[in-house]
């Protein structure tokens, strides 16, 4: 059994069905959780030392934090239905999520600091990008990029069509060697369409101290403490993943595996 794969579980009292903490992952920065709420349910939290990006995976909610309330945001029926709505909450601020419909909510956290405002990230404001070509084509939805204010969090969604590869050529960001490479922990939260499908993710380091080929199913999370981490989506099954990254420096600078660098240089 993989040490890097985290599977969904029965809902806890607050609707949590999946959780990765720095303690459970054995690292320092990234926290990630998914909550399933029924219409009318609420989730209230305060993370004194962590900033939070709330991503509405599916459903509609009202989110209140500080002196702001964002009413009836979201509305996706599937994570494959365009960019999400999201809300950024700085460290030290409590927030309340009230589900207006059945709701799937991703809670992305990392150490926080600085005087950042609570803000709504609207679907129309999210930069979309086509990356790669041929069977390496994937579609990027950059929810919280490094060009937008936050202390350490980076959050992005990726759609990989069935039969295609993603996070490919294999790349890593586990060394603090800026400007050539940054050190960022990362989680991959996977969904599949149709949901009975599966996909593959390999996580490996140069010295192979980590070398796992992980089979992922709908709702699984893969932890990437370091190393290269390509993903493959089988024919017939589109793959979605939500990435959460964080580290001591809020910069995403990656290095391709030298053995496969030729793919992008040919």
Q: Is residue 50 part of a domain?
A: yes
Q: State the pLDDT at residue 266.
A: 65
**209 falls within a domain:** yes
* pLDDT of the residue at 64: 98
Q: Is residue 219 domain-resident?
A: yes
**235 lies in some domain:** yes
Domain membership flag for residue 252:
yes
Is 247 among the domain residues? yes
Cα(141)–Cα(122) distance, rounded to whole angstroms? Answer: 12
Q: In degrees, to the nearest 5, what angle opens at C-alpha 48 toward C-alphas 43 and 52?
A: 55
Taking alpha carbons only, the member of 90, 83, 103 closest to residue 47 is 90
Residue 72 forms part of a structural domain: yes
> What is the spatial distance between Cα 76 and Cα 96, in angstroms, rounded to a whole number?
20
Quick check: is 60 in a domain? Answer: yes
Domain count, the chain: 1
Q: What secondary structure does DSSP assign to 49-73, as a single string?
A: TEEEEEEEEEEEEEEEETTEEEEEE
Of the candidates 11, 48, 52, 2, the residue with the CA atom closest to the CA atom of residue 32:
52
Residue 145: count other Cβ atoms within 10 Å of its Cβ: 15
The helix/strand count (H/E) of the chain reads as 2, 24
pLDDT at 13: 94
Question: What pLDDT sits at residue 257?
Answer: 97
| CATH code of residue 112 | 2.60.120.10
Q: What is the pLDDT of residue 2?
A: 73
Q: What is the residue range of 123's domain?
A: 5-258
| Residues of the chain below pLDDT 50 | none
Decide if 137 contacts 164 (C-beta within 8 A): yes
pLDDT for residue 165:
97
Rounded to whole angstroms, the maximal C-alpha distance in the chain is 54
105-141 per-position pLDDT tens digit: 999 999 999 889 999 999 999 999 999 999 999 999 9
């Amino acid at each position: 059994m993989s040490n890097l794969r985290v599977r969904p579980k029965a809902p806890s009292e607050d609707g949590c069905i999946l959780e990765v903490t720095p303690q459970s992952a054995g690292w320092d920065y990234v926290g990630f959780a998914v909550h399933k709420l029924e219409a009318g349910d609420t989730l209230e939290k305060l993370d004194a030392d962590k900033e939070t990006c709330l991503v509405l995976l599916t459903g509609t909610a009202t989110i209140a934090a500080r002196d702001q309330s964002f009413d009836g945001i979201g509305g996706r029926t599937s994570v494959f239905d365009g960019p999400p709505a999201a809300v950024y909450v700085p460290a030290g601020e409590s927030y309340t999520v009230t589900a207006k419909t059945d709701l799937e909510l991703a809670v992305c956290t990392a150490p926080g600091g600085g005087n950042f405002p609570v803000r709504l990230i609207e679907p129309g404001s999210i930069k979309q990008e086509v990356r790669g070509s041929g069977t390496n084509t994937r579609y990027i939805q950059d929810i919280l990029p490094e060009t937008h204010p936050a202390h350490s969090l980076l959050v992005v969604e990726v759609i990989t069509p069935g039969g295609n590869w993603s996070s490919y050529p294999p790349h890593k960001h586990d060394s603090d060697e800026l400007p050539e490479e940054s050190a960022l922990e990362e989680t991959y939260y996977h969904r599949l369409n149709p949901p009975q499908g599966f996909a593959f993710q390999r996580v490996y380091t140069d010295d192979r101290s980590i070398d796992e080929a992980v089979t992922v199913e709908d709702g699984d999370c893969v932890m990437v403490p370091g190393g290269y981490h390509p993903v493959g989506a089988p024919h017939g099954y589109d793959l979605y993943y939500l990435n959460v990254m964080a580290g001591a420096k809020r910069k995403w600078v990656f290095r391709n595996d030298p053995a496969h660098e030729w793919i992008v240089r040919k």
